Structure formats: C-alpha cells, structure tokens
Amino acid sequence: MTQLYNNRTPRRGRVFPEHQLSPEEKARRKAESEAFVQRCRAVFDQVQPELIKEHYDWYIIIEPESGDYITDPDETVARGKARDKFGEATRLIMRLNERGTCGRI
C-alpha cells in the first residue's frame, strides 16, 4: 500500500503582508470614525426624546452632514428609504431606545 505524504507547509501570517496600514493611517481612520459617530450621536441625542415616545425600538438612520434622519420599524425598509434619500452617503443606524443600540453583545 502506498503511503501519501502531505508536503504542503501551512502559511503563517497575513495573506498580503505588503498591504499593511501604517500606524499613522490606522490612527487617522480611527479618529475619522470617532468624529463621525460623535456627529451622529449629537443628532440622535437631539431627536431621541421626542421620537422615543411614539416610535420606541424603531430604527433610525442618521446622515450627519445634513442632520437628516429616517425612522422605520423594519430595518430593511429603513435601509431602503435611506439609500433612496441619501444615496451613497455614509450614515449610521441606531435604535430609538434609551441607549441607541441595535442588538446585544
């Protein structure tokens, strides 16, 4: 009986090591992301008290540049409305509840 050998050596590390981001680029992207979330959170904090009364646990999608938002009880419908209204602009989705979270970790 012939014995089969596996001569393949497992790859270690990143798939494309030449495509690593510099620490400066990582820090810049993190700062941009945090600034974006803060702008969205400011809009959310403004509108949340009045919307939570009638639309508790609905989804809210915020576009921070214009300060505009969309609400809907169904996430898929809300995303479609946001795509139609805001186009490809970056936006944040939250829930209209005390914390603004969409799920549980």
* Mean pLDDT of each 10-residue bin along the chain, 105 residues long: 70 73 93 94 90 90 91 93 91 85 65
Mean pLDDT score of the chain, rounded to an integer? 86
C-alpha–C-alpha distance, residues 53 and 78, integer Å = 19
User: Helix (H, G, I), strand (E, B), or coil: what is residue 31?
Assistant: helix
This prediction has a pTM of: 0.74
pLDDT of residue 19: 80
Q: Which long-range contacts (CB under 8 A, 24 or more apart) does 76-82 make?
A: none
* Spatial CA neighbour of 55 closest among 37, 36, 78, 76: 78
C-alpha–C-alpha distance, residues 8 and 10, integer Å = 6
